[in-house]
Structure 1
Amino acid sequence: MSITIRKAAVIGSGIMGSGIAAHLANVGIPTLLLDIVPKQLSAEEEKKGWTLDHPAVRNRLAAGAVAKLAKTNPAPLYDPAFAERITPGNLEDHLDGLADVDWIIEVIVENLDAKRSLLERVESVWKPGTIVSSNTSGISINAMAEGRSEAFRRSFMGTHFFNPPRYMKLLEIIPAAGTDPQLVQQMKQFSETVLGKGVVIAKDTPNFIANRIGTYGLFVTLQEMERGGYTVEEVDAATGPALGRPKSATFRTLDLVGLDTFLHVADNVRLNVDSESERQAFTPPASLTGLVERGWLGEKSGQGFYKKVKGAGGKSEILSLDLKTMEHGPQKKAASGSLEAAKLAKGAREKTKALLGAGDRYSELAWNVLKQVLVYAAEKVGEIADSIQEIDEAMKWGFNWELGPFETWDAIGLARSVERMEKEGTAVPDWVKEWIAAGNTSFYRKQDGKRFYASRGEFRQAEQAPELIDLRALKEQGKVVQGNSGASLIDLGDGVACLEFHSPNNAIGGDILTMIQQSVQEVRQNWTGLVVANQGRNFCVGANLMLLLMEAQDEEWDEVDDIIHLFQQSMLKLKRLDKPVVAAPHRMTLGGGVEACMPADQVVAAAETYYGLVEVGVGLIPAGGGCKEFALRVSQQAGHPEADLLPQLGRVFETVGQAKVSSSGHDAKRLGYLRGVDRIVPNQDHLIYEAKQAVLQLAADGYRLPAEERIRIAGSEGKAALQLAAIGMHEGGYISDHDLLIAKKLAHVLAGGDLPAGTLVTEQYMLDLEREAFLSLTGEPKTQARMQHMLSKGRPLRN
């Protein structure tokens, strides 16, 4: 049995409250956003002659929060238009509206008395069965529920979103003693499927799971910094990507969180635990409290451990804090054998082992921090969460660690590391030593593609929801049908195959193109349909630019022509496959990655998909069928043979010509990259499952390959209009001479060349135009300079 949430209410319109409301709006849930009634008029309201009774004044806090959503970066909304799904109000005039919603979320100040008082008011209008939750980051859920009716308590729980709610995957659900266990599981399923969250069930203990361990780890790091005399830069070098952690590492993370907020979170543990040693562990050092007393709170105050200033030539420069002098100065880059070894290693496991194994002072820092965090996490199993898996997932989803504590322990060698800890006088929990004594060498193991984790003295199989399809596990089970160095065809079951890219950065080269053609042949003969998907960090960042540049610099034009021709024909074969094809892009899907999706019958995209044809950024135009597919869509959407193609074609010209990239899957629809038939999936982990279901549905509906259509083109008249717009941009100083050349080539292709307007052409004709324009631009020195700059600097060159 599942729950249905048709409408929600969020009480508290601060950063978290408005962010949660925005994410509910993102997934299509109309939301009432309430806050208190202001006690004073603003200067602007006084000028307008309003009184405190004016509705706009009474709703000011919530309405202002909604208005800010469009200006906030990173954007809380998938599409700015979704703000219309949020209705602002106030707790005096609109409290009765809580009776009409299915979920009420409290997001007010972190004060137990204030929360209790609010929940009392909520229950006065509460409709039995309505879910009520608190977004507290650490206050006791049971304490909040005191004084409430039994029926209310059955529907009450903690739902701790991490900030920003749209982007942070973790949602901790914290049941109270009286919460209906079935409702907890239903909320978990709803939050994973509809909200796209990674959910862990936490116990009602101070700061729950992620903040408990994360805060402890940050304090340990500060202590080791002082003990070893490390600088801010050195600590961040040793506790960032080198240790499988985010680039923000320790001090950039603290600046982002806010030092005052961090101390508040730490105090919640320090003041609510019984252990004296634990209270000491959460007691902030004088250096940290001193910064807060100075008002140096991090990014929100303009300075903390780092400070952003204008440097020479007006360029921004990031200064770091010297804790001895309490002055900010130029950063001094940390360098050592261990840091270099970690940088060269592949993956978090190997990076961590390389960092710890080098034996220098950075290795020592990393080890002294890590061992304490691992032991603390082990001590808290059963207290803050029932399983090591929930602790690991909380740290990966809430703090963006690549490996959770117990996964890290496995990576560095469980028995060996415990032996070292004990030699150094670190007390390891008995259950860990007993686990090793029983002959176990790790906390996790895999068998027949299934994952097991340590639990109460034995291995327990990790639950695997059907929506979680793991391509790596399928490959371990021998489900690869065929493959090469760049791609594999994998059996997903039920007659559906998955074409997975796995080249470096999933860049499209000859190996992937060959595999596409082989997969088309295999699926045509033996399968129900095909999913094009992978589980890399990004779906695909385009074609192999390095290969193209090398061939262009060697003036091997026949080779360049062959590469583009192979790309085009591979995409055409994919489009002509007489079985349903569904593409499932996620995150960065650029250039050739988009063109690999465009032939599909349907695209099922992750909500966090940043999708765009960006070839003009490297001095080229799309030539893997992207221009052709857009021209076909314009022709189809026009409908009537006499309809004007230019308005829609102009929008396409602007989108491709400016290399626009969507800020979400929904934004990709707004930009015209995705069609009405295409779908958005909130949870990226469910993406391949949903794509597979789409294939099966198309097959069940009696899929037939659509007949090939001719494309009605805008012709020479449309080309002239598009080029005129580009010339205007050039004369206005908005684009360079080379930009104008590229724009003219793009206009030529999108309009269908120099044929008369309304001419019907084949797809192959359009592909030939693409290839010709691409080849000519590849030979331009300025294009080659742009390609080289992108490869070396990772950003476009304007020349």
Structure 2
Amino acid sequence: MSRFQVRKVAVLGAGVMGAQIAAHLVNVKVQVVLFDLPAKEGPKNGIVAKAVDGLKKLKPSPLGIAEDAALIGQANYEEHLEQLRDCDLIIEAIAERMDWKLDLYKKIAPFVAPHAIVASNTSGLSITKLAEVLPEEIKPRFCGIHFFNPPRYMYLVELINTPTTQPQVLDQLESFVTSSLGKGVVRAHDTPNFVANRVGIAGMLATMIEADKYGLSYDVVDDLTGKKLGRASSGTFRTADVVGLDTMAHVIKTLQDNLKDDPFYPSYATPAVVAKLMEAGALGQKAGAGFYKKVGKDILRLDPAKGDYVPAGGKAEAIVDRMLKKAPAERLKLLRESTNPQAQFLWAILRDSFHYVAVHLADVAESAREIDLAMRWGFGTKQGPFELWQQAGWKQVAEWVKADIDEGKALSSAPLPGWVFEGPVADNGGVHSAQGSWSASRNAFVGASTLPVYQRQHFPESLFGAGGVDPLTAGTEEFKNEEIRVWSLDGEVLIASITAKLHLISPAVTEGLLKAVEIAEAKYKGLVIWSPDDVFSAGANLESLMPVFMKMGAKGIAPEEKKLQDAMLRIRYATVPVVSAMRGLALGGGCELAVYSARRVAHMESYVGLVEVGVGLIPGGGGLTYIARRAAEMAAAGNANADIFAFVKDGFTSAATARVATSAVEARKIGYLLDSDIIVANKDELLFVATAQAKAMADSGYRPPHKAVFPAAGRSAIATIKGQLANMRDGGFISAHDFHISALIADVVCGGDVEAGSLVTEEYLMALERKHFCGLLEHPKSQERIMGMLSTGKPVRN
């Protein structure tokens, strides 16, 4: 199959979804033009211009950096349809009106390039019916593409074919969406609301029915159906508020209009409370009120009996809380047999979900894999319904569900399908196996996709029962201690995986990293620092140093601090390339570890910064030394006579304000990533790209940089910064202790008490870092901040 190149994308519709899809395309460096109707007054592109400007104000930001909004091309259907001829992919994202969509398709059809894929971002309309209006030559290149809101952050994208969609078109689109956009693709059948919304909204409706049946308040239900149940922390009713009750009602109406023969049809009725709230304009979070309402700092919940809002805060009962902490088999047994209303409610909604997905598996998806991944990626559940069922004991749970159906306790009288009790699934003990996941339509286990793009994912997300490989036991192990594992997947590149909580850097981690460099230099082409979860490293493990500090004070910490600094230099000057594969948090020591590597490969959602001032300290693992060195390098690259201070001040500000980049793109702007570093869209491709980079660097004859002296900004720059800080302190913007910490940061990044332009070394600056770091450890106000963070997890301002 020839490679499908997406050089330019058109997004039709500058509403909430269309504009944010365009923003995400910009994030991943895909050229995009955003279309909408011509404005009736003012410039013809006024509607699009307003939408693009609005992107810069949204929180969480749909853009990696706000100024990239300018990269979104602006167009309207009256003047610019010719631009479609240059587009390889056209995504239609206008309002969910079949007639409007069909009219637009007729309008754009003459301008669609012969090779271009056309896809509708609908949340539930029939893709097959949408295709009917298209010319015959476009139908084979038309499909559904359903992004979840917000598109930058939600991992799930559903792809839906029609009877006329060419298989290779969906393969090409899946490869692009997976690798270039960084998404998890689930292929859905063309049924109402597809997979995630079909199962998820049906589950929310069932939860509302059962909550009413057992007389539970909305806040209690949300506590029960949030993290305690392995689901999104917003639970059920708060999720409805966030989504918007009007949006939810639209999805419900799709079920009502198109599934009249569904055995669960009665449960698709719009809940009376939802109808009443909508009538009052209480559409949820965007309207300021829904099931919940915020008044000042207080969160209130609706009390339907009173017809008014009352203080929220209801929680699960302790006995139910304990049940939910048990292993799945015992957990479900306890919930089912309990007389506690909260426990009975939980068993009921779990039973309803098992019943629903079993009855509808053949209709909505190719296999159970798609349903479980859709619920993980689209609704934030820790595991899908089939996974939990299988983990809790397939046959026993099936008998319990059957008994409830027979006794009339379930939402529907539809029996569980025969495959649940007899045949391959029953013999396997569930729908997921090493051979694949159960397809009720094919009556067989079906393997995961074998598209070439998935060869870039060494450790894709695995489902319970599918026999996925644990990356922390995979490959050939070279070294291991209690907080780090050093291993190789291919015998060419060594991998260091920090296994400590939040991947905090302790003496044991430092020891492991030094060992990894030693082994890599002796036997491998390079070293990649990578861990298989959402944290690269959240910084230094202060708690691990507490015993030393309590016994010896700051003088006991100084040698440990020097070991960490020496380890950073050892990594920087290793004879093989060290590549940091960053994902999620890279804070404090984690940021320092990254900047001392030869290269960084960062997932788009990387949050990078030097945050030590939050605990009353300064960066002590070489972070400030890096800022000083990079300032000198940038000044030299621009002009040999350039003022180094101009480059130092941005780095100083970032460290002194604990600024955290909220994307890899922003981390590059701040200076923690360089132009030569790689930003990866898909989290599961991070290790593949990082090891490829290490090999390429080695094969290109990698040599570490020379140790060199470089000029410092000096005492005059320190005086300038301290003058500005004094104004902030005297104006009440920062405390006296903030002033003290910031002055120490300035002392290091400017090179201490030396003339401007004096040549310094990394070791000299690290000694300054170490001195000030240890001095702050002895300061009572810094100790207050450290103890506050360790005990509450929140910064103390003093």
Which residue is 1:470 aligned to? 459
Q: Which stretches in structure 1 are left out of the alignment for 5+ residues? A: 40-51, 311-315
Contact persistence 2:329–2:393 (CA under 8 A):
no
The alignment's TM-score, normalised by the length of structure 1, stands at 0.93
Q: Which stretches in structure 2 are left out of the alignment for 5+ residues? A: 461-468
Deviation of 1:271 after TM superposition, in Å, equals 1.0
The residue matched to 1:754 in structure 2 has which SS? coil
The residue matched to 1:159 in structure 2 has which SS? strand
Matched, 1:453 2:450: no
For residues 101-144 of structure 1, the C-alpha deviation after alignment (integer angstroms, 9 at most, x for no partner) is 22111111111111111111111322222211111100001101
The residue matched to 1:213 in structure 2 has which SS? helix
Q: Partners in 1 of 2:500 and 2:742 — Cα distance?
A: 31
Matched, 1:370 2:369: no
Which residue is 2:625 aligned to? 628
For residues 551-598 of structure 1, the C-alpha deviation after alignment (integer angstroms, 9 at most, x for no partner) is 545553233223212211222222222111110111121101101111
Deviation of 1:787 after TM superposition, in Å, equals 1.4
- 2:420 is aligned, of 419, 432, 452, to 432
Q: Partners in 2 of 1:150 and 1:644 — Cα distance?
A: 64
Matched, 1:275 2:242: no
Q: Partners in 2 of 1:112 and 1:549 — Cα distance?
A: 64
- 2:429 is aligned, of 441, 446, 459, to 441
Q: Partners in 2 of 1:478 and 1:493 — Cα distance?
A: 7
Deviation of 1:228 after TM superposition, in Å, equals 0.5
Q: Partners in 1 of 2:254 and 2:174 — Cα distance?
A: 26
The residue matched to 1:369 in structure 2 has which SS? helix
The residue matched to 1:587 in structure 2 has which SS? strand
Which residue is 2:307 aligned to? 326
Which residue is 2:17 aligned to? 16
Contact persistence 1:243–1:355 (CA under 8 A):
no
For residues 534-564 of structure 1, the C-alpha deviation after alignment (integer angstroms, 9 at most, x for no partner) is 1223221111132345654555323322321
Which residue is 1:47 aligned to? none
Matched, 1:496 2:493: yes
For residues 298-337 of structure 1, the C-alpha deviation after alignment (integer angstroms, 9 at most, x for no partner) is 0111101110111xxxxx1111111221211111431423
Amino acid at match of 2:429: T
Which residue is 2:466 aligned to? none
Contact persistence 2:591–2:610 (CA under 8 A):
yes
Deviation of 1:517 after TM superposition, in Å, equals 1.2
**Residue 9 and residue 368 in structure 1: after superposition, are their counterparts in 2 closer, same or farther (change >3 A)?**
same
Which residue is 2:558 aligned to? 561
Contact persistence 2:121–2:147 (CA under 8 A):
yes
The residue matched to 1:607 in structure 2 has which SS? strand
- 1:170 is aligned, of 156, 159, 162, to 156
Q: Partners in 2 of 1:218 and 1:753 — Cα distance?
A: 61
Deviation of 1:81 after TM superposition, in Å, equals 2.1
**Residue 128 and residue 715 in structure 1: after superposition, are their counterparts in 2 closer, same or farther (change >3 A)?**
same
The residue matched to 1:466 in structure 2 has which SS? helix
Q: Partners in 2 of 1:393 and 1:419 — Cα distance?
A: 25
Which residue is 2:483 aligned to? 486
The residue matched to 1:123 in structure 2 has which SS? helix
Contact persistence 2:554–2:775 (CA under 8 A):
no
Deviation of 1:80 after TM superposition, in Å, equals 1.5
Q: Partners in 2 of 1:481 and 1:429 — Cα distance?
A: 49
Q: Partners in 2 of 1:283 and 1:720 — Cα distance?
A: 70
Amino acid at match of 2:555: D
Contact persistence 1:170–1:398 (CA under 8 A):
yes
Contact persistence 1:337–1:358 (CA under 8 A):
no
Which residue is 1:644 aligned to? 643
Contact persistence 2:425–2:438 (CA under 8 A):
no
Which residue is 1:232 aligned to? 218
- 1:361 is aligned, of 341, 349, 359, to 341
Contact persistence 1:341–1:355 (CA under 8 A):
no
Q: Partners in 2 of 1:124 and 1:18 — Cα distance?
A: 24
Which residue is 1:775 aligned to? 774
Deviation of 1:349 after TM superposition, in Å, equals 6.4
The alignment's TM-score, normalised by the length of structure 2, stands at 0.93
The residue matched to 1:172 in structure 2 has which SS? strand
Q: Partners in 1 of 2:760 and 2:616 — Cα distance?
A: 27
Q: Partners in 2 of 1:31 and 1:599 — Cα distance?
A: 35
Which residue is 2:662 aligned to? 663
Deviation of 1:146 after TM superposition, in Å, equals 1.0
Which residue is 2:398 aligned to? 418
Q: Partners in 2 of 1:125 and 1:437 — Cα distance?
A: 49
Amino acid at match of 1:368: A
For residues 235-281 of structure 1, the C-alpha deviation after alignment (integer angstroms, 9 at most, x for no partner) is 11111001110111101100011111111101101211242533212
Amino acid at match of 2:795: P
Q: Partners in 1 of 2:293 and 2:87 — Cα distance?
A: 44
Which residue is 2:671 aligned to? 672
Deviation of 1:428 after TM superposition, in Å, equals 2.5
Contact persistence 1:524–1:578 (CA under 8 A):
yes
- 1:116 is aligned, of 102, 115, 120, to 102
Contact persistence 1:342–1:355 (CA under 8 A):
yes
Amino acid at match of 1:711: F
Contact persistence 1:244–1:349 (CA under 8 A):
no
Deviation of 1:454 after TM superposition, in Å, equals 3.5
Contact persistence 1:375–1:429 (CA under 8 A):
no
**Residue 601 and residue 437 in structure 1: after superposition, are their counterparts in 2 closer, same or farther (change >3 A)?**
closer
Contact persistence 1:607–1:682 (CA under 8 A):
yes
Contact persistence 1:132–1:157 (CA under 8 A):
yes
Q: Partners in 2 of 1:240 and 1:487 — Cα distance?
A: 32
Contact persistence 2:627–2:652 (CA under 8 A):
no
Which residue is 1:80 aligned to? 66
Q: Partners in 2 of 1:108 and 1:662 — Cα distance?
A: 32
Which residue is 2:599 aligned to? 602
Contact persistence 1:551–1:559 (CA under 8 A):
yes
Deviation of 1:661 after TM superposition, in Å, equals 0.3
Give me the identity figure in percent.
Answer: 36
Deviation of 1:343 after TM superposition, in Å, equals 7.6
Contact persistence 2:216–2:342 (CA under 8 A):
no
